[in-house]
């Protein structure tokens, strides 16, 4: 079974703090994704990585950066957290080479910025 | 542009009722994939089904069934004899372009099944 884990289920940070959200997958997937989920807006893609050290902006990258130093780990960084970044953050991985196009999701991190 | 519309924001039913969740999509691609995911209260999205654009056969899996109609650009999901455990947010998604697994998601439909 594919397992995608995220470092925290709940996180509370102060405005201006630097925040790291970590995601680890154990199935050797090439592709990894960070989404944020907000009521009425569904899932929106923040960043995407298709290989180690490779990344691509998604639909809403402003205020975020990412790091992928190892294949299994994909980190989302909020350089200076703001209240409008309060949201649920979901990480996913997929095996495009396998041809299934299916994404496997982690349990999510609910981030509150005060 | 790719787009997925789930017009139903929230649906409430009583247990054992049948319920259909609507999904309408827009794409310029001739080859694409459609998906349904379930997000229970625990938060983790769970894959339910994938359909490619060349396969218009309806699919049934237990109490779940999917109706894919290219003529109306719809991929609707029906739960027969709903149960309380079906309560969740359901997302429909579409591949953004050919040969990519980047998805565009609808806004989701929250289903509440009451005992």
Which pLDDT score, from 0 to 100, does residue B99 have?
64
DSSP annotation of B80: S
Characterize the bridge pairing of strands A10-13 and A109-113.
parallel
User: Tens digits of per-residue pLDDT, A22-78?
Assistant: 999 998 888 999 999 998 899 999 999 988 988 999 999 999 999 999 999 999 999
Q: Name the interface residues of B facing A (CB cutoff 8 Å).
A: 6, 9, 33, 35, 37, 42-47, 50, 91, 95, 100-103, 105-108
* A107: nearest CB among B35, B44, B106: B44
* CA–CA distance, A35 with A4 (Å, rounded to integer): 14
Which pLDDT score, from 0 to 100, does residue A81 have?
97
Could you give the C-alpha distances from A9 to A6, A14, A87, A109, in angstroms and in order?
Answer: 7, 17, 12, 4
The larger pLDDT score, comparing residue A6 to residue A101, is at A6
* A103: nearest CB among B9, B103, B108: B103
Contact residues, chain A, for B105 at CB < 8 Å: 35, 42-44
Contact residues, chain B, for A110 at CB < 8 Å: 43
User: Tens digits of per-residue pLDDT, B27-83?
Assistant: 988 888 999 999 998 888 999 998 888 888 888 889 999 999 999 999 999 999 999
**DSSP string computed for A64-89:** EEEEEEETTEEEEEESS--GGG-EEE
When the pLDDT of each residue in chain B is averaged and rounded to a whole number, the result is: 92
Question: Using the beta-carbon criterion (under 8 Å), do B45 and A92 form an inter-chain contact?
Answer: yes
- Tell whether the torsion through CA atoms of A8, A55, B51 and A88 is positive or negative: positive
Which pLDDT score, from 0 to 100, does residue B56 have?
83
Which pLDDT score, from 0 to 100, does residue A1 have?
66
When the pLDDT of each residue in chain A is averaged and rounded to a whole number, the result is: 92
* Window 26-85 of A, Cβ < 8 Å to B: 31, 33, 35, 40-45, 48, 58
Which pLDDT score, from 0 to 100, does residue B11 have?
97
User: pLDDT at residue A100 above 70?
Assistant: no
The percentage of residues in chain B with a pLDDT greater than 90, rounded to a whole number, is: 71
User: pLDDT at residue A85 above 80?
Assistant: yes
User: pLDDT at residue A108 above 70?
Assistant: yes
A98: confidence class by pLDDT, cuts 50, 70, 90: low
């Amino acid at each position: 079974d594919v397992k995608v884990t995220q470092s925290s289920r709940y996180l509370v940070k102060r405005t201006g703090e630097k925040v790291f959200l970590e995601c680890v997958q154990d199935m050797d997937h090439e592709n990894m994704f960070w989404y944020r989920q907000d009521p009425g807006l569904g899932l929106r893609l923040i960043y995407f990585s298709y290989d180690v050290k490779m990344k691509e902006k998604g639909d809403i990258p402003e205020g975020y950066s990412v790091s992928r130093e190892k294949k299994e780990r994909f980190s989302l960084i909020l350089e200076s957290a703001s209240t409008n970044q309060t949201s649920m953050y979901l990480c996913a991985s997929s095996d495009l080479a396998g041809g299934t196009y299916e994404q496997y999701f982690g349990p999510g991190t609910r981030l509150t910025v005060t | 542009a790719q787009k997925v519309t789930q017009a139903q924001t929230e649906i409430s039913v009583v247990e054992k009722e049948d319920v259909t969740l609507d999904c309408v999509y827009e794409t310029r691609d001739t080859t694409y994939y459609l998906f349904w995911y379930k997000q229970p209260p625990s938060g983790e999205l769970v894959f339910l089904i994938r359909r490619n654009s060349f396969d218009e056969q309806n699919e049934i899996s237990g109490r779940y069934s999917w109706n894919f109609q290219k003529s109306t650009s719809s991929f609707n999901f029906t739960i027969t004899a709903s149960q309380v455990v079906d309560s969740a947010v359901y997302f429909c998604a579409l591949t953004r372009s050919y040969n990519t697994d980047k998805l565009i998601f609808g806004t989701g439909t929250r289903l509440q099944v009451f005992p």
